[in-house]
């Protein structure tokens, strides 16, 4: 509607202008109007709705609070979210179209696996929708921050977030040779992370060798207890959750006999919220593992 109003206003001016000088003036007016319309079309979004835990946190890191119309309900879960204590006053959504449409968003951000029927409907109805891919590496984290930063008109802030993360990663970096300490990430029922996973990249950035990758796992896969014992990692990594349900994998590892068999392994817990999403907060997970690596090195030298 605004575009049509501006077009009519320009046409009226052209009819009233006469002569060469008038035509030049009219052309200038129309050029200015075109710039105004283009500026409106490219204006940064001010009613941003996030439907995904990972984009919730990126949005909060990049834009002013008043520009965010809604976040997903998972943003309130302190085990999964780094911003659970900062969402008071935000409308929360479950990714349902009936929650999103009344907000009339000018940008909807979602993840690769977010409420696909809602994403398809919003796209079909013409709502600007950005789907941010799941990060499988720290390079992917950088890319996603830049993608959303550009979409919301906050590239300077995006670059600052990446710069801060990269500084922390550089400080945590360890040896790059073949004599690196080994680590293994273990989830319930023996699942671990191998190549082409964010956790693998975190382990490597901490100066450690990921035994899950060495065992041939790609993405996420399962290891038998026998394989786990044969690998005998220097560092055994588990998730830390305040409300973690009992799991057989964890119970086995806490058994005294298994602890003895694991020998020199030390246990390190990384909060789930630090690496369930590919965010600049991933630097803290790297720092936790790098601290464990340094502790092992110090103990070996004492």
Q: What is the pLDDT of residues 185-212, one digit of tens each?
A: 988 778 899 999 999 999 999 999 999 9
Supply the pLDDT for residue 226: 82
Whole-angstrom Cα distance, residue 272 to residue 278? Answer: 12
Concatenated DSSP letters of 115-153: -HHHHHHHHHTT--EEEEPPPSSHHHHHHHHHHHHHHTT
pLDDT on residue 240: 77
> What is the pLDDT averaged over residues 88-100?
96
Residues 6+ apart with CB under 8 A from 251: none
Count of residues for the chain? Answer: 302
DSSP secondary structure code for residue 206 in this structure: T
What pLDDT is recorded for position 267?
Answer: 87
Q: Which residues pair with 208 in a beta bridge?
A: 181
For residue 138, what pLDDT is reported? 98
Average pLDDT estimate for 104-118? 93
Range of weakest confidence among 11-15, 169-173, 233-237: 11-15
Euclidean distance between CA atoms 246 and 179, whole angstroms = 35
Please tell me the predicted confidence (pLDDT) of residue 11: 39
227 or 76, greater pLDDT: 76
Rounded average pLDDT over 91-105 = 96
Compute the C-alpha angle 279/285/286, nearest 5°: 105
Give the 3-state secondary structure percentages of the chain, helix then strand then coil, rounded to 5: 55, 15, 30
Supply angle C-alpha 221, 224, 230, rounded to 5: 115
Q: Kindly indicate the confidence band of residue 253, based on its pLDDT and cuts at 50, 70 and 90.
A: low
pLDDT of 244 reads: 55
Q: Is the pLDDT of residue 110 over 50?
A: yes
Rounded to whole angstroms, how far apart are CA atoms 110 and 118? 10
CA nearest 240: which of 293, 296, 284? 284
Q: What is the pLDDT of residue 252?
A: 64
| Closest among 182, 190, 180 to 232, alpha carbons compared | 182
CB 160 within 8 A of CB 298: no
The pLDDT value given to residue 178: 62
Q: Residue range 63-67: average pLDDT?
A: 96
Average pLDDT, the chain: 83
If you average pLDDT over each of 11-20, 33-42, 140-149, which comes out highest?
140-149
Residues 134/196, Cβ–Cβ less than 8 Å: no
pLDDT digits (tens, 9 = 90+) for 263-296: 667 889 999 999 999 999 999 999 999 999 999 8
pLDDT value for 8 = 37
- What pLDDT sits at residue 243? 52
pLDDT for 263 equals 66
pLDDT at residue 118 is higher than 70: yes
């Amino acid at each position: 509607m605004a575009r049509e109003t501006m077009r009519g206003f320009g046409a009226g001016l052209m009819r009233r202008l006469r002569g060469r000088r008038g035509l030049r003036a009219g052309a200038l007016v129309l050029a200015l109007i075109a710039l105004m319309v283009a500026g409106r079309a490219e204006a940064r979004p001010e009613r941003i709705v996030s439907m995904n835990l990972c984009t919730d946190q990126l949005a909060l890191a990049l834009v002013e609070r008043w520009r965010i119309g809604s976040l997903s309900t998972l943003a309130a879960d302190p085990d999964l979210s780094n911003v659970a204590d900062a969402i008071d006053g935000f409308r929360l959504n479950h990714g349902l179209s009936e929650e999103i449409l009344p907000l009339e968003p000018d940008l909807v951000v979602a993840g690769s696996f977010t409420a696909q029927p809602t994403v398809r409907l919003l796209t079909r109805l013409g709502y600007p929708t950005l789907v941010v891919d799941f990060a499988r590496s720290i390079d992917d984290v950088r890319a996603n921050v830049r993608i959303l930063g550009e979409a919301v008109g906050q590239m300077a802030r995006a670059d600052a977030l990446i710069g801060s993360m990269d500084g922390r990663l550089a400080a945590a970096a360890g040896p790059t040779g073949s004599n690196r300490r080994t680590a293994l990430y273990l989830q319930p029922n023996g699942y671990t992370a191998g190549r082409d996973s964010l956790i693998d990249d975190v382990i490597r950035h901490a100066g450690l060798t990921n035994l899950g990758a060495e065992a041939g796992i790609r993405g996420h896969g399962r290891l038998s207890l026998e394989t786990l014992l044969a690998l005998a990692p220097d560092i055994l990594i588990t998730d830390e959750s305040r409300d973690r349900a009992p799991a057989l994998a964890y119970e086995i590892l806490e058994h005294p006999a298994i602890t003895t068999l694991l020998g020199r392994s030390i246990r390190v817990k990384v909060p789930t919220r630090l690496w369930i999403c590919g965010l600049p907060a991933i630097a803290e997970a790297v720092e936790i593992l790098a601290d464990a690596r340094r502790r092992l090195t110090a103990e070996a030298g004492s």
